[in-house]
Amino acid sequence: MDMYGLVICGGNSARMGTDKSTLVYYDKPQHDHLYDQLSLFCKKVIISCNQEQFVSLETSNEKMPDLAQYSGHGPISGILTAFDTFPEHDFLVAGCDYPFLSKDELKLFLAKTTRDSRAAAFYNQDNKYEPLLAWYSKDAGPLLKEHFNRNEFSLQHFLKKYGAEKYLPKPERVVTSVDTPEEFERVKAILANENNK
């Protein structure tokens, strides 16, 4: 496939107290774990990060800092940077917040995504898109830039506006976002228990 993968590292991770992309659920930092998963489906994978992370993030995988004109506006910054840098490619996007994401679930998502759509995303029980578990076509790039230039930075609103396809995963826990130390420890315990069975 000519699709590229984008691992979104996120911002300051204030509630977690540490960079969520460096948390370890599967024997390596989450940014590298997701890099490996996306590599199964993508021609090329890039770790998207802010300027500070670009300096501090330890990885042998390719990483890309947000372009100055987009920085400081959340995850849309990384996706726009990717489209500016590689405008001829679709992007499969995965955020570091989702430890239950699996290659099997990504495979199902891609199988059910219509390639003539502008975008598709995982959908949760609160009837909201998960913009960082998503696929953005190359045609979405210019529209996303227009969205940004109107001072609209919400990917959720973008996906709603353009009627992105919805993918409801089973199990539902795939869309569980881990944002605090307590949630991290709970998920680590669940995964350890499952691995010991």
Q: Is 10 annotated as a binding residue?
A: yes
Structure tokens given for 97: 């917040």
DSSP characters for the chain? Answer: ---EEEEE--S--TTTTS-GGG-BSSSSBHHHHHHHHHHTT-SEEEEEE-HHHHHH---SS-EEEPPTTTTTSTHHHHHHHHHHHSTT--EEEEETT-TT--HHHHHHHHHTS-TTSSEEEEE-TTS-EEEEEEEE-TTHHHHHHHHHHTT---HHHHHHHTT-EEE--SSGGGGPPP-SHHHHHHHHHHHHHHHT-
Q: Is 79 annotated as a binding residue?
A: no
Q: Is 84 annotated as a binding residue?
A: no
Q: Is 161 annotated as a binding residue?
A: no
Q: Is 8 annotated as a binding residue?
A: yes
Going by the annotation, the residues of the binding site for GTP are 8-10, 20, 66, 97
Annotated binding-site residue numbers for Mg(2+):
97
Please give the annotated binding residues, written as ranges: 8-10, 20, 66, 97
